Structure 1
Amino acid sequence: MATDPEADTVELPPVPTFGRGRPRQAAQRIHPRRIAAGHLKLYGQLRGWALADDGKTRARRLAGIALGALTAYRVGHQDPRALGAAAAAYGVAAWRAGRPVPPTRAELQRRFLLGVQHLIGDRPGIHLRELYDALQARPAAAHLDDARLRAVIDQCGLTVHRSIRIGTVTGLSGVKAADVNALLSPKEETTPPTGVDAGHTPPEGAVEPAERGVEPPVERAETA
């Protein structure tokens, strides 16, 4: 977890997507999981392209794929080096396609809140000292000090209470579990039940809908 007061984004310590160490460095390593993820992505794109909505287009594309696979098999059978070069080229393409998408600021904040929620467990909260020690024990945040961790807590919207009681320990500042749960599950705004916007009065002359089964009264003209 790293944060720069002058930066536009917050970098939190998520689990590295590939390899070990810091997330940015681990994501660039040639890792089998990254190649596998890229292969699945390329396969999904090819499958979506082949299975078109139009039946004729789908048949032509499937026939083209079958012809290409047959040609590649013949070339590979005659010259194994070409098959090895094609496999290497596909591996590079899969590695490039498997590059993880940088998470958004909201996603990084949610990861941090989920991590704090996991550290709290069934307790009513967690003291800052325990939270700092738990985060700094991770390889991705071992180089961060208390001030930078506190900055991330503030930017994620958590309230640090001066004194919370956890078990028999009291008098220490910390974060409450209720605040973390509230940020992870915000309440949805309810829309007004009627067609009138909230804060506005109905226009003059508006007639309320008649009750079901009751017809509105009909004015009769006076007879001379």
Structure 2
Amino acid sequence: MTRLTCAAGRLADGSSALARRLAARTAASVARARRDDLTGWRAALGCWLRILLLAFGLYLLWRLVRAVPALLWLLTAGWTAAAWRASRPVAEEPVDATAEATAEQRGERAPGGDVRAATLEWIWQQIGDRQGVHLRDLLAHARAHGMFEALEVAEFRAHLERWSIPVRARVRVRGKGVTVGIHRSDLTALVTASPEPSPEEVPKPELHVA
């Protein structure tokens, strides 16, 4: 494989990751505008307002590019640079000692089993007595402990799904609105019914358990 082919592949992967990241951020921003204290169409007014503002912003950008075509070169360069950065591989970091100790106490120190078990326990801790947890809150907790600092929600979701941890596009969490997250019922079903994937099939994630 030539350097040019490698560079083209990296740009393609980065563009795909960047597009997913922007889509996830946009969806999360729109979902946060929903009012939990209202019902029916009134609760969704904020969402529709943000969608209209987004559409108006895209229209203004289109008009600006039509008026100044040279601006398209600047936008293309910016997108290329962002896609190149987005395609950088995420360095793996060792699992926190607390996660290993917790898994060892439960007798789950088999290769590939301790990390996933610790990941599930960490998610359970973040759910607490609520019906689910948002991925953005999981990421915030991980970053507070020095983990996943280079990941966005879309990439974090891909990590979890490769470990067969179900993620929903819409999860309502008390006091936090509706956005992408993990629902309590899905996690319960996973723990009681789903077998763990083998370490050969699933890449090792990088998670802290506080």
Q: TM-score range by the shorter chain?
A: 0.3 to 0.5
Q: Which has the higher contact order (CA 8 A, sep 6+)?
A: 2
Give the TM-score, by structure 2 length.
0.38
The higher radius of gyration belongs to 1
> Which has more helix, going by share of residues?
2
